[in-house]
Structure 1
Amino acid sequence: MAHDAELAGRVRRAVPDEKNVREVTMFGGLAFMVDEEMMACVSGGGGALLVRVSRSRDAEYLKVEGARRAEMGKGRSMGEGWITVDEDALTEDGDLHFWIDAVLEYNAEKTAEC
């Protein structure tokens, strides 16, 4: 499974140590699961990052530079809460941490609802 190994390493290092993390191939890349919830998926050929965020903050997150609605195939939107972040928007560690924090926040909200 092809994925951007450098970006995958950065994601791996950015996840808090206390989290239960495993890596799984899915969505054509390498997905990072935290407590059995997808945190992020690193794709190949361009190093984009797929994240799942709160639908209530979807519009806000889409305004962040480099963020766009995730698609599953050309022109097939994955819907609210699914965002692809371009590699160029992840050059700084702070940018990557912003997205990881957004996903972990969403995952915590989902867990609290159960």
Structure 2
Amino acid sequence: MTAQKDLVERVREALSDRDPREVPMFGGVSFMVEGRMVVAARRDGELLLRIDPTAAKDLLARPGCHPALMGTDRPMGDGWVSVEQAALQGAGLDAWLEPALSFHEAQDAK
């Protein structure tokens, strides 16, 4: 199984209680919850997260996290980060899904 397919399966399982819709975009499979993208499993096996821009600095300090790029060199902005495969192993995936889901829920509260 490829790294992306494995990640898609793991994200699908982790979000199953939220009835996500899967959409091909951002160079992979994006998971939409209530019509908004939360995360994407990219072709290279990295996880793209939509986050609260005010949390970017703290999240980027975690091992395996870096600013998200569109293509090879265009930054996506403070509301997006990418997480390397190694940081997603074991319970790592749940730890990284949490800030994306928290941001999603905060948007619902507005």
Gaps of 5+ in 2: none
Runs of 4+ in 1 over 6 A off after TM superposition: none
- In 2, are the aligned partners of 1:3 and 1:29 still within 8 Å (CA)? no
- Whether 1:112 aligns to 2:106 is no
Is 1:30 matched up with 2:48? no
Structure 1: gaps of 5 or more residues: none
TM-score normalised by L of structure 2: 0.92
Separation in 1 of the partners of 2:16 and 2:104?
14
| Aligned residue in 2 for 1:43 | 42
Tell me how far apart the structure 2 counterparts of residues 62 and 104 of structure 1 sit (CA, whole Å): 17
Q: How does 1:65-104 map to 2 (within 5 A)?
A: 65-92=63-90, 94-104=91-101
Distance 1:6 1:22 in 2: 17
How many residue pairs match? The answer is: 109
TM-score by length of 1: 0.89
Using the TM superposition, give the Cα deviation of residue 3 of structure 1 relative to its aligned residue in structure 2, in angstroms.
7.3
Distance apart, 1:81 and its partner CA: 1.6
Q: Which amino acid aligns with 2:6?
A: E
Does the aligned pair in 2 maintain the 1:41–1:49 contact within 8 Å? yes
8 Å contact from structure 2 (residues 28, 40) kept in 1: yes
Taking only the aligned residue pairs, the percentage that are identical comes to 35
Match of 1:59? 57
- Aligned partner of 2:9 in structure 1 is 9
